[in-house]
Amino acid sequence: MVHLDEDTMDALRTHLAKQAADRLSWGEAWQDTGRIFTQENGEWLHPGWLTDYFERLVEASGLPPIRLHDLRHVAASLMLAAGVDVKIVSETLGHSDSRITRDIYQSVLPKVGAEAAEATARMVPRAASSKIARTAGLTSGSHAPAEIIAISGPATLDKEKAQVSG
């Protein structure tokens, strides 16, 4: 079920009242399509008319040109960038499979994936005062000097050279 805010509900009530008045004024000629958004005689809105109307609105607004269909992509990209699950985005767009959504929006998904990984890393508990050290580049039995990386907080990375004796 969709929940609409009060302003949206008021706008919808106003629209439906106007549509009811149009229905009365057209009388027998009214085309009852059962749709909420129609031409003034009740006929369905032709997609070409809607596209033309949108283009006139964009031009009148002084905004850069954008196609009506581009709004779908903008909405999906914003949803993914906001961290909305790809399955939800897919359902919103009416894709039959979330793989379609992933294929189309794969350029947005790496950024979303990186943000998800960073958010997950922030959830890992860390001791505030202790240092975590690990040796890098040593194999079993190695006597060569190794680089030790000490991490003293979630965003601090200190490199210190140390000799490992065996």
- State how far the Cα of 75 lies from the Cα of 93, in Å rounded to an integer: 9
- CB contact burial 65-79 (16+ within 10 A = b; e otherwise): eeeeeeeeeeebbeb
Quote the distance between the C-alpha of residue 97 and its chain's center. 17
Q: In this structure, which amino acid lies at residue 14?
A: T
pTM of the prediction? 0.46
Q: What's the pLDDT score for residue 147?
A: 44
> For residue 148, what pLDDT is reported?
43
The answer to whether 160 and 150 have CB atoms below 8 angstroms apart is yes
Name which residue leads in pLDDT, 130 or 78.
78
pLDDT in tens, 37-90: 999 999 999 989 999 999 999 999 998 889 988 888 888 888 888 888 999 999
- Give mean pLDDT, residues 24-45: 93
Instruction: Report the greatest alpha carbon distance in the chain.
Output: 98
